[in-house]
Amino acid sequence: MIEGPACYAELGKALEGRGTVVVSRDPAKVFPGAERTADLPAAVALAETLPWTGPTWITGGERIYAEGLPLCSKLFITRIHRDFPGDRFFPADWHRHFTKLAWSKDGEVDGLKYTFEVWERGQ
């Protein structure tokens, strides 16, 4: 799992059962339980050497997603059917990279309706 420092801080720790790589240029920040690199390409290279099976996931935030989308083969996206105020945004041009809706499923949790979608690159 590759993430930025704000995402790490929100979770408050490295999640168990998977390897975590935090991308940060600030040497003063520490990320217990996680590996760290100063840029995304190095994070991807490091993630692929970690002793965990399964795909490498890029889990944000904003700039990490923007830099990471061209590297990804699949996009897993959850659309919550309600508007929220926010100051970080998923890249608006994600459709340039992912044009094929492979799978989708509607759901509801605590009165919040959502649609979970898996997108792939087109031909």
Ligand X SMILES: NC(=O)c1ccc[n+]([C@@H]2O[C@H](COP(=O)([O-])OP(=O)(O)OC[C@H]3O[C@@H](n4cnc5c(N)ncnc54)[C@H](OP(=O)(O)O)[C@@H]3O)[C@@H](O)[C@H]2O)c1
113 in Cβ contact with 97 (< 8 Å):
no
Q: How far apart are CA 105 and CA 94, in angstroms?
A: 20
CA dist 114 and 84 (Å) reads 13
Choose which of 2, 19, 24, 36 interacts with ligand X (CB under 6 A). Answer: 24
| DSSP H or E stretch at residue 41 | helix 40-47
Find the binder of ligand X among 60, 74, 117, 120 (CB under 6 A).
Answer: 60
User: What is the pattern of x (binds ligand X, CB under 6 A) and - over residues 76-105?
Assistant: ------------x-----------------
How many Å apart are CA 5 and CA 23, to the nearest integer? 7
Q: Does 29 bind ligand X (CB under 6 A)?
A: yes
What's the closest the beta carbon of residue 40 comes to ligand X, in angstroms?
5
Q: Is 68 in the site for ligand X (CB under 6 A)?
A: no
Where do contacts with ligand X occur on this chain (CB under 6 A)?
3-7, 10, 23-26, 29, 38-40, 59-64, 67, 88
